Chain A
């Protein structure tokens, strides 16, 4: 039985850029004012009237080969449950090397603690009986899927098998576990 590997899949076809995921995450995780752990990105290409728009709900990719973990001098940035990338606040000195190391620009300093903050894949819920992340739970278009990538029968695995999907910056070599369905 292989270890659990949490990953997330966002369906860009149904995501409407409403940002419910952003607000729900803020309240669930008490995110500092002026910062967000997840965000909506849109890219419009073409010119009037032949246009295409790509919409994504983005956050930390919880990479399998995370540069933020390898660069952290105190071990505060580490691999947590299910291969997620976590930060232990008490070990963080706020040197910000990990912010520089992250090609996805997903990390920031919480001004209230001086420590790094970012998406945690809601492990406090997921490892505690509620197997959904806050963003997944709120999403009115049900565009966010979360689960065990090592379980071939999980919804995320099934989606990755049956739909065309991509990850961001694959050439950065970080092996992200956040995927987008085309």
Chain B
């Protein structure tokens, strides 16, 4: 159907052999990605196989990794090019209308996956009954330096994972304090200090009694990284000592500079929202006489002073709250059914798959429908001809 053009590169890029090769590669990647989820978790496996350009294999016992397969992103990109190249070569006729729609839809699908990969942000909001929350939390850690001097409102400065990983002096704009990051651990094991443990740089706070040992980061969905860092607040030309911060240390640690109290803590990265959500009631029903969950739902109050909005929303399974470009889903619960955890997803491309899928479905229906009609007609004609033929033979 696709006609060769005078450009050999376009012909090669748009060849059907390439399509089949890419589809087969994609199958292999999807298969490996599925198997890898047992060890790496979904996030980890997808990062290795699908959202990468090259799949690396670490040669055991050496420090080398060798590329073994193109990654999902590369295959997807070439597949999109292959589609476009074929596309321009499929003559646009009524008979090909279905194929046109299918392939245009698929191109849009690949684009949508790239948009999701680049822009989708997953966070969580955990609210206890009666609590009001105006921030969402991501998976990555951040160092929060909170100025709690004002009893009404805290002034909070955050350093994200990127800043922590660079391990140097980070200024906190708008504050006299800067933070020197001595060392950052993406994941670590924290134990009570034993005699004979290696010396620790920590000079202040609860961290002086703790030994930190680095661990490889985990990516399984149900595991959490226990991040830790040695940080040294600097202000007005003096040091306030080296502190250990970690998201597993519960005790608040603070220092005072020029009459202002600053609290140091490591926590999940927060994004503050211009509106707040209050959990009025979390319900968790089970079927009578079993522990099979029948329904989870959160009755929340959405309060947005800037838009003068103040209303109640019921979030339940298959029924998220879509607001301000974000979608809030009922994801989990805890604390004896008084804590509700909402999954918060922000994806500007969330509508693309809907459009592309509708196009592909319509295209397939049209294409196979017309083909089926043609083939049935041909059979009818053949069957009508057959008796005449046999009659002729007998004669």
Are A and B bound to each other?
A: no
